[in-house]
């Protein structure tokens, strides 16, 4: 077999691969991923040829994002290996550890978590599963109600910054893409975990099938008695992902179901701490991908159903209480996209049709005919729906050491004004491993059904809300050399018509409005160093830091969400191993801006600043063949803090786990 050292030519993709490639069997999809990275090629050199006989060669490197450009954006890819090392009980906790992201938890272990990027709100982050938008139109509080646990995740792609020009509404301040996939070997895993406060977790997964048909199934069950009164929970997940190979293409199907119930102590008001919430999620998608020499096409249909039952009084309701809140959302759509590749770049284009519906006894307009709530002697009496058509196109250029892209998206809705978003990204290979970048992107978000219609004793929605907009300017520097990765970015976001719950200082009722302007600026740093081959008993260390500052312009209104953001967020990770023993620990420092009314009694609330907090999480374990025994300790220092007003977070929480991997 003859190999030639190509350099700085149209065939020089081997210099730039950021994935795992089996030389000898080189799928076209790897070429597609590699083409945007061709600007990393080394300068011209003399071609060298040699006749050799070799076994199959594996080229190992950091995985790249499948959804976002890593050249011109701040993107963090969390691999399967990292997911197994981190001490995290749920997706929200994991995100908080790896990228200094603001995860505001009301309940632990995935009960309820809100994702906040760059001082944005939980409604301003888009959540995708295998590239499909699964964000909830009722409220962003439900965006992480996903029927998978960490063991079922292959990797997570985190985009800090706007992504609306491709995905539309929701990708206002950032986006998260959670990837699952069947493996090509028949293997499985069984995990058990038990801890304080009656915590018990059981999960299992299995990969199986033939060469053409691969299937992955996973299920889990979690429960706890709670770390204080009315914080108990139970959670059941079932998930399936399959793929079937056809000539030059692949059929994909995934589906999942989640059933979750939890004590919601003071979640939405401290006056009535005996709250309870139960949610159910059903989702699925079927898609097809096909590629030719210079063309790749993707088509997918998807459906997501979510139900929410909220009880202000779990027991002994007040005499004035009129009943529980019931909501059901249905989201379904189709998406078609294509990519055309050239030696100097590529063109991406696509269209998506999406419909969002809600039935409720609290949200929406009165229904002509009421609909019975499944399993309850209660009826949905209100509802609403809206349609979206999204068309996007992006042109990417890879010329010499430059990477340049520009694109736009048109969003048509039957309930809101048409919206056009756009973006321009630029990066330059200053040296072989050093790349400065800059971008400007326009993003938007449509109000949720809760923003529009919610009515309560201290909250009033606004059905006249319109879309919120922002223009984000960003610049930074990336370095990726051997075992060292560094990423630094500065950003400025100018927001207009920002949606928030506000009130006059002397009033008690919060209502939703479109702010005139809200400006945010900040910086982020991510550094990772692998020391695994240096025998220091330290495999890897990582540091993430984020700073943000928001200024509200021309308003004296009190804000409920927009100004309670993480001003300083620091995460330090360290992974150690010795023979079969390992110790992984993560230290986080958080300083939150703003203050809240600390509840003392029904007649007394004291303005209180959010306390700064240091949190240390540890996982220590022993691996023997296919068995892993470990101890998890959360919040080792026992820090007392709140992420959301008056919702106390747990102190130290210790548990013991066991996982077993097997082949069939």
Q: How many CA atoms lie within 13 A of 55 on its CB side?
A: 1
Instruction: Give kind and range of the element (H or E) at residue 85.
Output: helix 80-85
Q: What local confidence, expressed as pLDDT, does residue 65 receive?
A: 67
Measured distance CA(41)–CA(401) in Å, rounded: 8
The total number of residues written for the chain in this structure: 664
273/362 same-domain check: yes
Tell me if 64 is assigned to some domain: no
Give CA separation, 522 vs 443, 465, 529, 591, 592, in Å: 18, 28, 24, 14, 14
Lowest average pLDDT, out of 99-108, 418-427, 621-630, goes to 99-108
Token pair of 315, please?
């027991």
Q: Which SS3 state, helix, strand or coil, does residue 414 take? A: coil
Lowest average pLDDT, out of 141-150, 196-205, 243-252, 601-610, goes to 601-610
Tell me if 412 is assigned to some domain: yes
Token pair of 486, please?
């560094």
Q: What is the pLDDT of residues 301-338, one digit of tens each?
A: 999 999 999 999 999 999 999 899 999 999 999 999 99
Token pair of 487, please?
């990423």
39/144 same-domain check: no
pTM reported for the whole predicted model: 0.88
Number of structural domains found in the chain: 2
> Residue 105: pLDDT above 80?
yes
51/175 same-domain check: no
127/255 same-domain check: yes
Tell me if 512 is assigned to some domain: yes
294/213 same-domain check: yes
Token pair of 170, please?
């929701």
180/49 same-domain check: no
Tell me if 67 is assigned to some domain: no
Q: What local confidence, expressed as pLDDT, does residue 94 receive?
A: 82
Tell me if 529 is assigned to some domain: yes
Q: What local confidence, expressed as pLDDT, does residue 64 receive?
A: 57
Q: What is the mean pLDDT of residues 286-290?
A: 96
Measured distance CA(33)–CA(19) in Å, rounded: 9
Residue 510 confidence class, pLDDT cut points 50, 70, 90: confident
**DSSP secondary structure of 402-464:** EEEEEEEEEEEESSS--EEEEEEEEEE-SSSSEEEEEEEEEEEEPPPHHHHH-B-SSEE--TT
- The maximal CA–CA distance of the chain, rounded, in angstroms, is 88
Lowest average pLDDT, out of 15-29, 326-340, 429-443, 514-528, goes to 15-29
Q: What local confidence, expressed as pLDDT, does residue 535 receive?
A: 67
Which has the closest alpha carbon to 444: 474, 460, 422?
422
Q: What local confidence, expressed as pLDDT, does residue 7 receive?
A: 40
79/55 same-domain check: no
651/547 same-domain check: yes
Residue 269 confidence class, pLDDT cut points 50, 70, 90: confident
- Chain centre distance of CA 579: 34
> Residue 441: pLDDT above 80?
yes
Tokens 């028949």 -> residue: 186
Q: What local confidence, expressed as pLDDT, does residue 365 receive?
A: 96
Q: What local confidence, expressed as pLDDT, does residue 39 receive?
A: 34
Residue 256 confidence class, pLDDT cut points 50, 70, 90: very high
Q: How many CA atoms lie within 13 A of 15 on its CB side?
A: 21
Tell me if 625 is assigned to some domain: yes
Read off φ and ψ for residue 452, nearest 5 degrees.
-80, -40
Rg (CA), the chain: 25
What is the dihedral angle through the alpha carbons of 183, 188, 192, 193, rounded to the nearest 10 degrees?
-20
- Please give the mean pLDDT across all residues of the chain: 87
> Residue 448: pLDDT above 70?
yes
Instruction: Give kind and range of the element (H or E) at residue 94.
Output: helix 91-98
588/540 same-domain check: yes
- Give yes or no for a contact between 57 and 416, defined as CB atoms under 8 angstroms apart: no
- Give yes or no for a contact between 597 and 605, defined as CB atoms under 8 angstroms apart: yes
Which has the closest alpha carbon to 73: 156, 168, 163?
163
> Residue 14: pLDDT above 60?
no
Give CA separation, 15 vs 48, 140, 397, in Å: 15, 42, 19
Measured distance CA(504)–CA(556) in Å, rounded: 8
Lowest average pLDDT, out of 12-21, 30-39, 226-235, goes to 30-39
Q: What is the mean pLDDT of residues 87-115?
A: 85
- Among the residues of 99-246, which ranges form H helices? 164-167
Q: What is the pLDDT of residues 158-186, one digit of tens each?
A: 988 898 888 888 899 999 999 999 999 99
Tokens 């990292």 -> residue: 82
Strands 484-496 and 517-530: antiparallel
Residue 586 belongs to domain with CATH number: 2.40.170.20
Instruction: Give kind and range of the element (H or E) at residue 452.
Output: helix 449-453
Residue of 85 and 350 predicted with greater confidence: 350
Domain end residue (candidates: 17, 32, 59): 59
Q: Which domain holds residue 31?
A: 2-59
306/419 same-domain check: yes
Read off φ and ψ for residue 196, nearest 5 degrees.
-65, 165
- List Cβ neighbours of 534 (8 Å cut-off, separation of 6 or more): none
Strands 155-160 and 653-663: unpaired
50/91 same-domain check: no
Q: How many CA atoms lie within 13 A of 651 on its CB side?
A: 5
Total Cβ atoms within 10 A of residue 119? 26
Lowest average pLDDT, out of 6-20, 312-326, 331-345, 604-618, goes to 6-20
Total Cβ atoms within 10 A of residue 598? 15
Token pair of 208, please?
């199986």
Tell me if 172 is assigned to some domain: yes
Tell me if 69 is assigned to some domain: no
Measured distance CA(212)–CA(415) in Å, rounded: 44
Q: What local confidence, expressed as pLDDT, does residue 67 receive?
A: 64
Burial group, residue 533, by CB count within 10 angstroms (0-12, 13-18, 19+): exposed
Measured distance CA(447)–CA(25) in Å, rounded: 48
- Give yes or no for a contact between 105 and 113, defined as CB atoms under 8 angstroms apart: yes
Residue of 537 and 128 predicted with greater confidence: 128
Q: What is the mean pLDDT of residues 627-642?
A: 95
**DSSP secondary structure of 108-147:** TTTTEEEEE-TT--GGGEEEEETTEE---SS-GGGTT--S
- Give yes or no for a contact between 541 and 524, defined as CB atoms under 8 angstroms apart: no
Q: What is the pLDDT of residues 581-600, one digit of tens each?
A: 999 999 999 999 988 889 99
Residue 507 confidence class, pLDDT cut points 50, 70, 90: confident
Which has the closest alpha carbon to 465: 493, 510, 443, 498?
498
415/488 same-domain check: yes
Read off φ and ψ for residue 464, nearest 5 degrees.
-95, 10
Measured distance CA(446)–CA(387) in Å, rounded: 12
Which has the closest alpha carbon to 215: 188, 239, 243?
243
> Residue 655: pLDDT above 80?
yes
């Amino acid at each position: 077999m003859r190999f030639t050292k190509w350099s700085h030519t149209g065939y020089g993709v081997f210099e730039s691969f950021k994935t795992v490639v089996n030389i000898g069997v080189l799928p076209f999809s790897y070429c597609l991923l590699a083409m945007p990275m061709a600007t990393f090629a080394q300068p011209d050199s003399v071609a060298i040829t040699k006749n050799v006989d070799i076994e199959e060669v594996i080229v190992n490197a950091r995985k790249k994002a499948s959804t976002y450009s890593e050249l011109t954006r701040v993107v963090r890819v969390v691999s399967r290996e990292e997911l197994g090392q981190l001490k995290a009980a749920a997706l929200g906790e994991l995100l908080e550890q790896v990228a200094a992201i603001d995860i505001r938890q009301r309940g632990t272990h995935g009960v309820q978590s809100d994702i906040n990027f760059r001082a944005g709100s939980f409604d301003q982050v888009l959540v995708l599963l295998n590239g499909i938008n699964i964000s909830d139109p009722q409220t962003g509080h439900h965006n992480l109600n996903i029927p998978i646990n960490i063991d079922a995740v292959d990797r997570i792609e985190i985009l800090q910054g706007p992504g609306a020009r491709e995905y539309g509404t929701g990708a206002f301040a950032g986006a998260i893409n959670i990837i699952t996939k069947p493996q090509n070997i028949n293997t499985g895993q069984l995990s058990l975990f038990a801890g304080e406060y009656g915590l018990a977790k059981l999960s299992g997964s299995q990969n199986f099938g033939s060469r053409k048909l691969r299937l992955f199934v996973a299920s889990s069950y979690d429960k706890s008695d709670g770390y204080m009164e009315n914080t108990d929970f139970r959670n059941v997940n079932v998930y399936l992902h399959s793929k079937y190979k056809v000539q030059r293409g692949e059929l994909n199907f995934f589906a999942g179901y989640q059933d979750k119930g939890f004590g919601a102590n003071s979640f939405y008001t401290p006056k009535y701490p005996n709250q309870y919430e139960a949610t159910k999620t059903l989702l699925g998608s079927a898609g097809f991908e096909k590629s030719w020499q210079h063309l790749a096409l993707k088509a997918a249909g998807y459906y997501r159903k979510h139900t929410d039952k909220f009880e202000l009084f779990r027991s002994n309701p007040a005499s004035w209480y009129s009943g529980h809140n019931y909501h059901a959302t249905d989201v379904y759509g189709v998406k078609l996209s294509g990519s055309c590749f050239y030696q100097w770049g590529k063109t991406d284009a696509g269209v998506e049709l999406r419909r969002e519906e809600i039935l409720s006894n609290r949200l929406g307009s009165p229904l002509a005919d009421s609909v019975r709530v499944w399993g309850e002697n209660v009826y949905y009496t209100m509802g609403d729906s809206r349609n979206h058509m999204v068309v996007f196109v992006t042109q990417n250029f890879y010329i010499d050491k430059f990477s340049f892209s520009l694109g736009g998206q048109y969003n048509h809705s039957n309930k809101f004004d048409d919206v056009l978003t756009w973006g321009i990204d630029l990066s330059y290979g200053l040296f072989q491993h050093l790349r400065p970048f800059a971008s400007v992107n326009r993003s938007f978000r449509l109000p949720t059904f809760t923003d529009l219609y919610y009515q309560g004793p201290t909250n009033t929605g606004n059905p006249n809300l319109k879309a919120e907009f922002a223009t984000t300017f960003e610049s930074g520097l990336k370095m990726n050399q051997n075992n060292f990765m560094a990423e630094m970015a500065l950003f400025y976001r100018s927001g207009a018509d920002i949606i928030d719950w506000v009130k006059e200082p002397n009033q008690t009722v919060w209502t939703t409005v479109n702010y005139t302007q809200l400006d945010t600026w900040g910086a982020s740093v991510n550094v990772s160093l692998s020391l695994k081959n240096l025998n220091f008993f330290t495999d890897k260390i990582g540091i993430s830091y984020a700073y943000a500052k928001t200024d509200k312009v021309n308003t004296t209104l009190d804000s409920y969400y927009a100004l309670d953001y993480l001003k300083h967020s620091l995460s330090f990770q360290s992974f150690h191993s010795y023979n079969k023993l390992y110790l992984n620990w993560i230290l986080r420092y958080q300083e939150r801006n703003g203050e809240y009314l600390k509840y003392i009694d029904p007649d007394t609330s004291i303005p209180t600043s959010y306390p700064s907090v240091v949190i240390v999480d540890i996982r220590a374990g022993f691996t023997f063949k296919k068995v892993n025994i470990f101890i998890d300790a959360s919040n080792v220092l026992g820090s007392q803090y709140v992420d959301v007003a008056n919702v106390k977070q747990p102190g130290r929480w210790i548990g013991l786990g066991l996982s077993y991997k097997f082949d069939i």
